[in-house]
Chains A and B, each alone.
Chain A
């Protein structure tokens, strides 16, 4: 049976429709733009100054436009995207003559938008080779929407959720700044009331070393987070949010790197704050996280991070503050204690990388104190490997050391016939005890030894001048000596040899009259 001519004509028309759409000249301005749908369209440039406009209609927000323009011989393409008001949203010129150009993540409003293809090579003379423009529209939330170079035009960040974008283009060609910095701003909106912790993880992208910053609603920089290097992601854990709140995140690639092929993913998680982890930012005294539950976890991130925790003493009686921070692999932690004004009282840095640090028995009184955890190696800790800081307050009792007692001016009083237990709590720790001799006699001094410490005891007269020094034979050994003394006030200064400490075992010092 022979096919009818009508059927053949219909088949031919159908076949013609299956191929890519075609440019319809003239399409040299907005009003004559070739209407296209997402997909492929072919076109040509008739001359070096030819410009081709395409119109794409969007019926849903939010929507993000991506496109790929195949290169043709002698053409140095420049691709621009315009909104319905013919305002240029974004311009792409990443390659040279013959190169492809890409468009990524341009946010489209409802209605028409325009793509303009032009050439900037004056020597172009290739009117017959076709280029192919492939467009794609991604609808719904969870996508970057360029332009987002300012907080005012920031893309919406899904909280909680995943938002995808690109470190692309490498330069913002519409920027007033002649360095054309390309950054991506995201708006973080937390409408719920209460305290929350926000975790932000940005996935790694090949060739890109990322960095992001968090700003508050007034534009003040709260946190700066650097990644670990090219191809690696960047994370921020436990960022404290007082909801309802708005923040901005600024994400950029260091050194102007770009990658149109691999999207970054920003994964956010919002959790109610339960007081068991640090509440970032807590990088200074006024933002210190309250330490109320005895222990709290935190992370050293970014590199150089300092975490401040506030310990409040509410009783009038003398208290002893002790603390311990667990070690973190690859990080050399330092534990500092500071007073209510943030001035350092003492620093504990006894151990090296990956090791814990312990603060033994700091004498405190009613008021606020701060414990500061930091890293001195300058490294970025694994944000998924937190430290745990534990602090406790115990009532001081006579017979316990009450730091700081590291000088004759702050020497702890002790009576002859009594004993005191203390620690050589950190390398360089010096403990001074002051006692009175009411009538001439021989005073016997007994210092029980502790592991790893070779103690030295120096007896000072009433004016602080050394009378005599005794040193144990070796680490762990006790000291026993005596001295005849006139009536007066004396100070006994105890110290370990350089680099020695023992935060686990207390020494015991006893004075008696023979």
Chain B
């Protein structure tokens, strides 16, 4: 047999590696180009020591819908989906992982409470969620853009 690996083997290896990364990194996510709902989230941190890994879990109408990619708190994380037009009940949940600890959700008192957000035809609804004061406070802004325009 030739010592050179066949092409199919290389492609298989690359695919497996990608899948493994997805397995070990909770919820790699990207925003579909045609998503009519997008969540962006980030934290204001006072120091590099507070800039831990985190992600946002997204629940729509009572069901888990996905989550953002894992990134440092200060980095913007995004999740998007094509959702049916209408008024949906959303809940966002921040999870944080300190360097030597386990994934832990923010205490319930500090998580954003669930609320309805309307997805409208022809528009992309963008929710911008910013946490500050070590996650104890947050602001939520809702914007809408034509689907043809990237936010």
Contact = CB atoms under 8 A, between A and B. Distances in A.
Interface of A: 316-318, 365-367, 409-410, 413, 434, 436, 438, 462-463, 486-489
Contact of B115 (A365, A367, A410, A434): A434
Contacts of B21: none
A365 B118 contact: no
A489 B107 contact: no
14 contacts: A365-B134, A365-B136, A365-B137, A366-B134, A367-B134, A409-B140, A434-B113, A436-B89, A436-B115, A462-B117, A486-B87, A488-B87, A489-B116, A489-B117
B133 A316 contact: no
Most-contacted residue by chain A among B107, B109, B134, B141 (CB, 10 A): B109
Contacts of A462: 87, 116-118
B109 A436 contact: no
The 3 closest A-B pairs by CB, nearest first: A365-B136, A489-B116, A413-B113
Interface of B: 87, 89, 107, 109, 113-118, 133-134, 136-137, 139-142
B63 to A, nearest CB: 15
Given A316-B107, A317-B109, A366 B136 contact: yes
Contact of A436 (B107, B114, B141): B114
Contact of B133 (A367, A436, A463): A367
B135 to A, nearest CB: 9
B5 to A, nearest CB: 54
A436 B139 contact: no
Contacts of B136: 365-366
Contacts of B107: 316
Give the dominant DSSP class at A's interface.
Answer: loop
Most-contacted residue by chain B among A317, A366, A489 (CB, 10 A): A489
Given A409-B139, A462-B118, A488-B118, 11 more contacts: A316-B107, A409-B140, A410-B139, A436-B115, A462-B87, A462-B116, A462-B117, A463-B118, A486-B87, A487-B87, A487-B116
A426 to B, nearest CB: 21
A463 B116 CA distance: 10
Contacts of B116: 436, 462, 487-489
Contacts of B89: 436, 438
B113 to A, nearest CB: 4
Contacts of A365: 133-134, 136-137
Contacts of B133: 365, 367
A295 B140 CA distance: 37
A486 B139 CA distance: 25
Nearest to B90: A489
Contacts of A438: 89
B109 A318 contact: yes
A413 B134 CA distance: 20
Contacts of A317: 109
A316 B140 CA distance: 22
A367 B142 CA distance: 29
B142 to A, nearest CB: 8
Contacts of B109: 317-318
Contacts of A318: 109
Contacts of B141: 409
A511 to B, nearest CB: 15
A367 B113 CA distance: 23
A163 to B, nearest CB: 48
Contacts of B115: 434, 436, 489
A82 to B, nearest CB: 63
